[in-house]
């Protein structure tokens, strides 16, 4: 039986970190399935999903935990359950506007109130092309329950967007 591992990695950014983790996974015949890794505030930060034979899980986790001696902290969560079927429609949300505190909170609150899952969220603050003002950009992949009226959702988010002075668009 396979065990799914969700690994969170953080440490000082330096060459070879991905190779070091991938080497340990290969050593334990684990399969690297999905990941997202970035340099954030001078740190290497990543999250990945790997699968490994259940009989090898403890040894793999011990070797990953040993990376802390090299400065890389690894947090692991295991899941032996098969994923529950998730029902709903996939939508993408794009947002751009002047940067200010509270944008993510207001949008995520409106989504949570409707039972909408955020499957992926990427954000960044960039300089505006025509001015030196900072712009906040976000892209989210959402799973919207079938009983949610997408037109009502869009109207609600557009009202929030007007208050926050940001532009929001949806794509299915």
Q: Which of 79, 109, 132 is the last residue of a domain?
A: 79
Would 35 be classed as within a structural domain?
Answer: yes
Closest to 98 (Cα-Cα) out of 143, 72, 136, 68: 136
| Edge-first strand listing for the sheet containing 166-171 | 117-127, 134-144, 89-98, 166-171
Q: Which two tokens stand for residue 93?
A: 């949300």
Beta bridge partners of 52: 3
Tell me if 98 is assigned to some domain: yes
pTM above 0.85, yes or no: no
Shared domain for 107 and 65, answered yes or no, is no
% of the chain at pLDDT higher than 70: 97
Q: Are residues 116 and 146 in the same domain?
A: yes
On whether both 137 and 160 belong to a single domain, the answer is yes
What is the Cα–Cα distance from 17 to 15, expressed in whole angstroms? 6
Backbone phi and psi for residue 119, each to the nearest 5 degrees, phi listed first: -80, -30
- Residues 32, 103: one domain? no
Is-contact 40 75, C-beta < 8 A?
A: no
- Contact, 47 vs 73, CB < 8 A? no
Tally of domains in the chain: 2
- Using a 10 angstrom Cβ sphere, with 0-12 exposed, 13-18 middle and 19 or more buried, the burial of residue 2 is middle
Give yes or no: residues 98 and 162 share one domain.
Answer: yes
Q: Which of 24, 48, 79 is the last residue of a domain?
A: 79
Q: What is the pLDDT of residue 78?
A: 87
Domain containing 67: what range? 2-79
Regarding whether 48 and 68 lie in a shared domain, the answer is yes
- One domain for residues 102 and 74: no
| Same structural domain, 72 and 93 | no
Q: Write the CATH number for 32.
A: 3.30.70.260
Read off the pLDDT of each residue in 65-87 and give the average, rounded to a whole number: 85
**pLDDT of 81 above 70:** no
Task: Answer whether 15's CB lies under 8 Å from 74's CB.
Answer: no
Q: Which of 46, 79, 112 is the last residue of a domain?
A: 79
Closest alpha carbon to 25 in 37, 34, 36, 12? 34
- β-partners of residue 141 are 92, 120
* 84 found inside a domain: no
pLDDT exceeds 80 at position 83: no
């Amino acid at each position: 039986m396979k065990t799914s591992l969700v690994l969170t990695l953080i440490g000082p950014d330096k060459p070879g970190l991905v190779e070091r983790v991938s080497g340990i996974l290969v050593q334990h015949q684990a399969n690297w399935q999905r990941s997202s890794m970035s340099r954030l505030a001078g740190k290497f930060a990543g999250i990945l999903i790997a699968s490994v034979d259940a009989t090898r899980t403890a040894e793999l986790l011990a070797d990953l935990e040993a990376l802390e001696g090299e400065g890389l902290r690894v947090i692991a969560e295991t899941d032996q359950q098969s994923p529950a079927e998730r029902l709903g429609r996939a939508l993408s949300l794009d947002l751009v506007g002047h940067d200010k505190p509270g944008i993510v909170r207001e949008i995520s609150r409106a989504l949570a109130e409707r039972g909408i899952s955020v499957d992926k969220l990427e954000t960044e603050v960039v300089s505006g092309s025509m001015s030196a003002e900072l712009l906040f950009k976000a892209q989210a992949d959402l799973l919207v329950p079938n009983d949610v009226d997408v037109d009502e959702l869009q109207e609600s988010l557009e009202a929030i967007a007007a208050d926050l002075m940001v532009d929001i668009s949806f794509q299915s």
